[in-house]
Structure formats: structure tokens, C-alpha cells
């Protein structure tokens, strides 16, 4: 069991010593629902930190934001950022270090083990409540959630509402950390790619019908890109008006930015956007599920990334985010990489 007090104590300690500029963690949600991110700057506020299965967000995005902010500041505070991470999130940090976006010293990692659980899927909770509005979610003893609606309280075992990604997770404890809380318990994952199995087994026509229906819905709000800790480019190749403009950028450069994808949310353009995004996340997506959670029209975005995660594993024996010293998936190759598809 992760002791919340220990986490708070450690956070307090590092803030007191000035080791970190602030600690990013989870605190009680303002609506009494799932946890909400919190930035703690003063040691006396660390009692706000919590840890339970409602801590769904991947906070690593804030590290990316901070790094980008620093690069614009004249005298940035170069002390590390303290951050609370789960197993999946820790792998995001590994990828950022691997890609030299951040240094190891930029972060002070407070790692939490999910042990036998993980985090909840809000949609699964909603299903259990048959449309009733949630007033409060509490994490109680024996790994249960107490969910209150206007009709009273309902006890739901966390195990029944775990996010799919947690059921398929290969690293439910941090793979990189400065302090670890909880146990590195073993747990067996029978089907690490279960969620894409159904789609994979269908005929190309069925698969197409499925994706057509899904991607037609996309309104290209780019929430999936904005929330992704791996989408840190200043300029997005898939978005023609997203351009890093500096004082030196000439009008000509602006005018000549290549437009690979039209801005209209037409099916062909949506597909183009999502194909590019998926490919650019191959060997980088750590399956935190944030893109899918942020999508306002419920597109199962995880599946695209999961497919490439599986391909990387099966074809190239590459697992994302376990070792930041290894070269990345597409900046490396092996002589024996498969080529049976090449004539």
C-alpha cells in the first residue's frame, strides 16, 4: 500500500530544502469527483497531496509546459520540478529524456506504484450508474469506490471500473524515480493488446467502416494533441496555421508553410491528421490514455497508438519508455528487422 503520509512528507522535505521549485501532484477534485492536478510551492501545503485510483491524469504534460516556458524566460529557475507519477507516466518521462527534450536533472520523480490496481475509467463508472449524475466519488477501504448520486451511495469495486489501459499495462510501477512509494508487485498481464484484438480480427472492410464512423466525428479541436505529453513540437506538421513565429520569421516563410492537411474537418483530412499523429507517436506513446479521455466526441484514439505499440513490440522487439539510454524506435534499426513485405 502506498502511504499518502509518506508521499506528503517527502514532498514537504524536498520543498523545505529547496531541492525543487514546486511539486506537481494530485489533490481532491473540486467537484468531489476524480482527482485534480495541483502545483504545490509551499511545504505547508503538501497535505493537499492525495493518491488513489481517481488520479487519472498524466501530469508529465506540465513538465513539457514548464520546459517550454523556461526556454522563453531570461532567468529561468533551473531547479528540478518535483512530480508525482504512476508507472505509465514515468515512461513518458523516460521518452522525454531519451529524446533529449529534458534532462534527468530537470525532474525529481516521486513514483507511485499502482500495485494491484490502476486508475478508473470515468466512462465505466457512468455506465454502472445508468445515467444518474454523480455527486461524489470517494475511495474507500478494501479497494472500493463509494459513488453518491441523488439516490444514495453505491459501492463499486475499483477492479470493475479500471481503465482498459490499466488492464493491459506492462509497467504498473514507475521505471524511473527518485523516491518510490508502494511495492513493485508482479502482476500478470494475460492480454496486453486486448483492446485492439477485435478490430484486428475483422475484415479490412469492417475495419474501414469502423474507423470511418469514428473519424468522421472528429471536429479537429486538437485536444488530443494539446493534452499529449509527447506532442511537444512548437509547430505541428498536421496543422497549417500552427507555426512557430519569431521576430525573424518572414512573411514569405509564413506564406509558404506547406499545407499537408486541409483545415476542414472532412473525413479525408481527419484521417490524414490521425494517421500522421499515430505515426509520429510510434515508439513514443506510453498509453496514458489522455488523448482518448480529452476527446469531446469519444473517438477511441488509444487503439491507433496501441496498434503501433504492438507492431513495435512484435516486429522490432521495442517496448516504449523502459530505458532512456536506448536509441528510439525509428532512429535505430537492426540488420535482422523483418522485410518479408518487401519485394
Residues making contact with ligand SF4 (CB under 6 A): 218-224, 227-230, 281, 285-291, 294-297, 299, 301-302, 305
CA atoms of 318 and 316, how far apart (whole Å): 5
Interacting partner of 197 out of ligand SF4, another protein, none (Cβ under 5 to 8 A depending on kind)? none
Q: Indicate the residue among 66 and 309 with the shorter CB distance to another protein.
A: 309
Stretch 242-261 residues interacting with another protein (CB under 8 A): 260
Among 100, 190, 205, 325, binds another protein (CB under 8 A): 205
217 binds another protein (CB under 8 A): no
For 105, counting Cβ atoms within 10 Å of its Cβ (0-12 exposed, 13-18 middle, 19+ buried), the class is exposed
**What interhelical angle do 60-72 and 87-98 show, nearest 10?**
30
Query: Do 96 and 107 form a contact (C-beta atoms < 8 A)?
Result: no
Rounded to whole angstroms, what are the CA distances from 281 to 95, 185, 301? 11, 29, 12
Rounded to the nearest 10°, the torsion over CA 147, 152, 155, 156 is -50
199 binds another protein (CB under 8 A): yes
Query: Do 24 and 92 form a contact (C-beta atoms < 8 A)?
Result: no
Report the alpha-carbon angle 98-14-116, nearest 5: 65
Interacting partner of 187 out of another protein, ligand SF4, none (Cβ under 5 to 8 A depending on kind)? none
263 binds another protein (CB under 8 A): no
Using only C-alpha atoms, the chain has a radius of gyration, in whole angstroms, of: 21
For 308, the enclosing helix (H) or strand (E) is helix 302-316
Among 69, 123, 187, 212, binds another protein (CB under 8 A): 212
Stretch 224-243 residues interacting with another protein (CB under 8 A): 237
317 binds another protein (CB under 8 A): no
Interacting partner of 262 out of another protein, ligand SF4, none (Cβ under 5 to 8 A depending on kind)? another protein
Q: What distance separates the 2 farthest-apart alpha carbons in the chain?
A: 65
Q: How far is the CB of 280 from another protein (least distance, A)?
A: 8
266 binds another protein (CB under 8 A): yes
Q: Residue 167 region, left (φ>0) first, then alpha (ψ -120 to 50), else beta? A: alpha
By CB under 8 A, the count of residues binding another protein is 43
Nearest to 108 by CA among 50, 180, 209: 180
| Binding region for another protein (CB under 8 A) out of 30-38, 62-70, 171-179, 203-211 | 203-211
76 binds another protein (CB under 8 A): no
* Residues of the shown chain interacting with another protein in the complex, contacts defined by CB under 8 A: 196, 199-200, 204-212, 237, 260, 262, 266, 268-269, 271-272, 275-276, 278-279, 282, 304, 307-308, 311-312, 315-316, 329-331, 333, 335, 337-339, 341-343
Amino acid at each position: 500500500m502506498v502511504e499518502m503520509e509518506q508521499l506528503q512528507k517527502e514532498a514537504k522535505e524536498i520543498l523545505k530544502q529547496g531541492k525543487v521549485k514546486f511539486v506537481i501532484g494530485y489533490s481532491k477534485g473540486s467537484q468531489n469527483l476524480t482527482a485534480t492536478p495541483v502545483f504545490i510551492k509551499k511545504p505547508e501545503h503538501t497535505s493537499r497531496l492525495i493518491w488513489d485510483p481517481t488520479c487519472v491524469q498524466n501530469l508529465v504534460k506540465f513538465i513539457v509546459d514548464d520546459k517550454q516556458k523556461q526556454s522563453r524566460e531570461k532567468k529561468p529557475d533551473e531547479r528540478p520540478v518535483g512530480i508525482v507519477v504512476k508507472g505509465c507516466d514515468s515512461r513518458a518521462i523516460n521518452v522525454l529524456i531519451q529524446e533529449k527534450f529534458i534532462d534527468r536533472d530537470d525532474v525529481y520523480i516521486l513514483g507511485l506504484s499502482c500495485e494491484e490496481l490502476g486508475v478508473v475509467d470515468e466512462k465505466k463508472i457512468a455506465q454502472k450508474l445508468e445515467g444518474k449524475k454523480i455527486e461524489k466519488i470517494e475511495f474507500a477501504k478494501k479497494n472500493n469506490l463509494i459513488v453518491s448520486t441523488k439516490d444514495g451511495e453505491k459501492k463499486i469495486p475499483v477492479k470493475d471500473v479500471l481503465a482498459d489501459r490499466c488492464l493491459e499495462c506492462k509497467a504498473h510501477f514507475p521505471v524511473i524515480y527518485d523516491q518510490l512509494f508502494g511495492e513493485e508487485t508482479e502482476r500478470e498481464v494475460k492480454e496486453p493488446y486486448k483492446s485492439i484484438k477485435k478490430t484486428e480480427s475483422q475484415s479490412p472492410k469492417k475495419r474501414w467502416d469502423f474507423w470511418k464512423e469514428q473519424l468522421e466525428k472528429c471536429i479537429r479541436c486538437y485536444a488530443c494533441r494539446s493534452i499529449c505529453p509527447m506532442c511537444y513540437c512548437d509547430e505541428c506538421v498536421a496543422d497549417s496555421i500552427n507555426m512557430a513565429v519569431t521576430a525573424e520569421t518572414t512573411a514569405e516563410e509564413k506564406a509558404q508553410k506547406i499545407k499537408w492537411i486541409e483545415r476542414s474537418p472532412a473525413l479525408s483530412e481527419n484521417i490524414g491528421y490521425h494517421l500522421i499523429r499515430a505515426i509520429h507517436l510510434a515508439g513514443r506513446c506510453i498509453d496514458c490514455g489522455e488523448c482518448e479521455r480529452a476527446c469531446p466526441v469519444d473517438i477511441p484514439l488509444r487503439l491507433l497508438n496501441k496498434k503501433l505499440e504492438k507492431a513495435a513490440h512484435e516486429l522490432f522487439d521495442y517496448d516504449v519508455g523502459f530505458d532512456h539510454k536506448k536509441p528510439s524506435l525509428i532512429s535505430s534499426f537492426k540488420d535482422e528487422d523483418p522485410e518479408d513485405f518487401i519485394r
